[in-house]
Structure 1
Amino acid sequence: MGRFLGLRGSKLSMATIILVVGPAYFTFGYNLAVAGGLLTLESFVKQFPQMDTINTTGAQNKLNSNIQGAVSALFTVGGFLGALSTIPLGDLLGRRRIIFLGSAFVVIARLVQGCGTGAITATVPVWQSELSGSAHRGSHVVTEGLFIAAGIAASQWIDLGFFFIGSSSVSWRVPLIIQVPLPILVMIFVFYMPESPRWLLLKNHHKEAREILSILRDEDEHSAAIQREIAEVETSLEMIGSVSRWDVFKMGEKRNFHRLMLGIGGQSFSQLCGVNSITFYATIIFQQRLKLDAIKARLLGGGMTTIQIVGALAAVLTIDRLGRRSLMLMSSAGMCITMAIITGTTSTTNNQTALIVAVVCFFIYNMSYTFGFLGLTFLYSTEVAPPHLRAKISGFSNCMTWLMNFVVVEVTPTGFDNIQYQYYIIWAVINCFIFTTVFFLYPETNGRTLEEMDEVFMLSNNIFESRKIATNLSKREASDHESMTEKVTAQQVDELK
């Protein structure tokens, strides 16, 4: 068997998705949501009475809500620390080593598990975007969202299955450990996959980088396409020697800080839209807030998270056609509208029609979210980043994902307890803000090489111009091509005359 399991080109890209990206992000989604379905189990409440918000009232219920939020958010604290660690370590150790170490941490305990997951989510998008060509980079990287959605859905259905075990602690212990084989699978196969050619060039491993790039593109090592791509990356890396750790916070010629804020903003939006106030607490919302019985609550929770797969699959199929901006705009608009409707329909639990509309809106909200914000923002933060700062910007952006995730998961039990259905108004307003921000500030990155984005920002003088320039550059190139075609045609006519 040859290098990388004897695979080349698209087959090798598919192998990285199936053997590394898939299990890593399935595990991420699973661990993100599995605890939410266990919080109302009889055996879980008996084991951890301080987190019981079902059988308590008054001051005790408020205290338990705070404890429940803090414990549930522990995973996200670990995620923040793990993502933070990739800022100094990402370029030092390389992409594959970080993924391996992160997967090892995922196997251990919940806080450490969060650290491992944070390191993985900050590294895998960088690794995958650096392996992929510009034509299919979007659909390759956004598959991460598809696997996250599948993991979330699986956790809900597994929670439902173990609910029928009854009062045994097996009903919550097994769901918490059932995902362990998947990160082990990642640890086994990650070193059978190629290292990032950009990282290898950064470390002056030119021969190996050229060989890997030729395998990934299924081209001869000395072909013009490989030579050109190597030259582009080397040009972008020439300035590495003069980079300080603080350059990411400086504007400079390439507007580094502007690009950092776009990455941070996008990944913050993926949590500030309020998704984990619903996904993480799906069972509690249906059982405790909408007054449904335990089985119906879990069935709806499973169905609601399963619909996320539809949205994620739609993103995979359309992202390289419609572009990044279109998906984010449609997604935020859908979330804003459904949150506004949910606010009105959950103001009473006595109206059966309003209850049905609320459940439908929960489903539409989840599908809208995965269409534009589940996997896409991981991709976007790597695409807007300058090549020499990509690992650092991805690390900072992922830190904000986890920090905002922590905030949402932490405050949601208290929010429901204090303002009840009006809590959804907050998310409707925030999603309206997200739509406006993306519309005015976020440039399109679709179809451009990672190096080409430098030109967009180098021509920008302020935060509003990058969006316009990204559009105008595309039109200018098309018009230049048309003008050139017209000149050639005229020249050929003259020659014929």
Structure 2
Amino acid sequence: MASIYLIPESPRWLAKKGAYEQARQSLSLFRDREPDSFEVTNEMAAIELALEGSAKAARKRDLFTMGPEKNFYRFVLALVLQFLQQWCGSNLISSYSTTIFQESLGLSSEMARILSGACLTWKFCSAFVAFATIDRFGRRKLFMFSGAGMSLCMMSLAITISMPGDKSAQYASVFFVFLFNFFVPIGFMGCNYLYVTEIAPSSLRMAMTSFSMTNHWTWNFVVLMVTPVALDTIGYQYYIIYAVVAGCIPPIIFLFYPETMGRSLEQMDELFEAHTSPFAIVRASLKPHANQLEQLTGEVEAKEQALQIENKA
């Protein structure tokens, strides 16, 4: 709570309040560039233009309309992503790992709790993989990699847990629980929340984020209530459900979810408005955009200048 005062205010909020100079200073801190740099000046111009275009007050019911902004398409992307986050099995393993180790695998109460604590600690450590890769490989690749890994782990758990009393199967089950907790945080313990805010239209960002979080915790409640009954009634077959849902993540992300890495919020708005179909939006998102081309051009020019200096020396 104390450290929140060290974080710069949102440049878009400052611009919305008319404090453009403060917004520029804040944006320069976030981008690690000088306030008068090309990148900051360009993005500030885009923010001001977006504010002028969204002068009309947005209504929550606009989330259910398409229009040029594709609001409903973006809203569905946010809802489906949070649904997948709950039904890929992440909450099952996090909340019921002790039950799985003790009742499904027949381990002692003490060993089950030790393994459960170690499992969640491992999950925390694995989250740093996403921290290091999210802006290197992009959101789409992390989602697909995470989904494929979770699906394989869930299918493997269904197989090993279906063999009670087999020591080798028990060891394998513990391994796949830990492996599952490696794949979860890569795409679905932070990246999913970030993605929702990146695809939401500027005028409806708070409304879309709020609805998606409500959807997230509603399915969280359902999973927590259903799981004990499901484990008692269908046992290992319950894991097949999660394996199938997680297996659907890669194709769904590949077909319908545009890449947001390296684009500002205003550039995402332009991307959705410039194309008519979801497939066209996804294809366009995978192409280098203006900022990336400018960055590459700048790097090439810097290298050329360095070579010229070396040649003169």
Same fold (TM over 0.5): yes
The number of aligned residues is 297
Give the letter aligned to residue 95 of structure 2.
F
Is contact 1:383–1:453 with CA below 8 Å preserved after alignment?
A: yes
SS at match of 1:452: helix
The alpha carbon displacement at 1:218 in A equals: 5.0
The alpha carbon displacement at 1:340 in A equals: 0.7
Between the aligned partners of 1:332 and 1:347, the Cα distance in structure 2 is 23
- Alignment gaps of 5+ in structure 1: 1-185, 486-497
1:391 aligns with 2:177: no
1:274 aligns with 2:89: yes
Query: Counterparts of 1:87-486 in structure 2 under 5 Å?
Result: 186=1, 188-217=2-31, 219-245=33-59, 246-472=61-287, 474=289
Give the letter aligned to residue 198 of structure 1.
R
Give the letter aligned to residue 343 of structure 1.
A
Q: Once the two structures are aligned, what percentage of the paired residues are identical?
A: 39
Between the aligned partners of 1:368 and 1:273, the Cα distance in structure 2 is 11
Is contact 1:443–1:470 with CA below 8 Å preserved after alignment?
A: yes
Is contact 2:8–2:29 with CA below 8 Å preserved after alignment?
A: no
Query: Counterparts of 1:57-68 in structure 2 under 5 Å?
Result: none
Between the aligned partners of 2:29 and 2:160, the Cα distance in structure 1 is 55
Pick which of 290-299 and 243-252 moved more. Answer: 243-252
Give the letter aligned to residue 237 of structure 1.
L
Quickly say closer, same or farther: Cα 1:279–1:211, change in 2 above 3 A.
same
Between the aligned partners of 1:330 and 1:473, the Cα distance in structure 2 is 22
The alpha carbon displacement at 1:248 in A equals: 2.2
Between the aligned partners of 2:53 and 2:179, the Cα distance in structure 1 is 46
Between the aligned partners of 2:53 and 2:212, the Cα distance in structure 1 is 22
Superposed CA offset, 1:263-303 (max 9, x none): 22222211121211111111111112222111110111112
Between the aligned partners of 1:335 and 1:192, the Cα distance in structure 2 is 37
Superposed CA offset, 1:163-205 (max 9, x none): xxxxxxxxxxxxxxxxxxxxxxx2x332343221111222223
The alpha carbon displacement at 1:472 in A equals: 3.6
The alpha carbon displacement at 1:454 in A equals: 1.9
Q: Which runs of 4+ in 1 moved over 6 A?
A: none
Query: Counterparts of 1:68-87 in structure 2 under 5 Å?
Result: none
SS at match of 1:411: helix
Superposed CA offset, 1:48-84 (max 9, x none): xxxxxxxxxxxxxxxxxxxxxxxxxxxxxxxxxxxxx
The alpha carbon displacement at 1:318 in A equals: 1.3
State the match for 1:81 in structure 2.
none
Quickly say closer, same or farther: Cα 1:428–1:214, change in 2 above 3 A.
closer
Between the aligned partners of 2:154 and 2:255, the Cα distance in structure 1 is 23
The alpha carbon displacement at 1:391 in A equals: 1.9
Quickly say closer, same or farther: Cα 1:437–1:220, change in 2 above 3 A.
closer
Between the aligned partners of 1:216 and 1:321, the Cα distance in structure 2 is 18
- Alignment gaps of 5+ in structure 2: 301-313
Quickly say closer, same or farther: Cα 1:472–1:197, change in 2 above 3 A.
closer
State the match for 2:306 in structure 1.
none
Between the aligned partners of 1:282 and 1:424, the Cα distance in structure 2 is 13
SS at match of 2:24: helix
Between the aligned partners of 1:237 and 1:460, the Cα distance in structure 2 is 21
SS at match of 2:189: coil
Is contact 1:200–1:209 with CA below 8 Å preserved after alignment?
A: yes
Give the letter aligned to residue 277 of structure 1.
L
Between the aligned partners of 2:58 and 2:268, the Cα distance in structure 1 is 21
Quickly say closer, same or farther: Cα 1:419–1:202, change in 2 above 3 A.
same
Between the aligned partners of 1:227 and 1:439, the Cα distance in structure 2 is 34
The alpha carbon displacement at 1:435 in A equals: 2.0
Between the aligned partners of 2:155 and 2:246, the Cα distance in structure 1 is 10
Quickly say closer, same or farther: Cα 1:444–1:216, change in 2 above 3 A.
closer
Quickly say closer, same or farther: Cα 1:436–1:216, change in 2 above 3 A.
closer
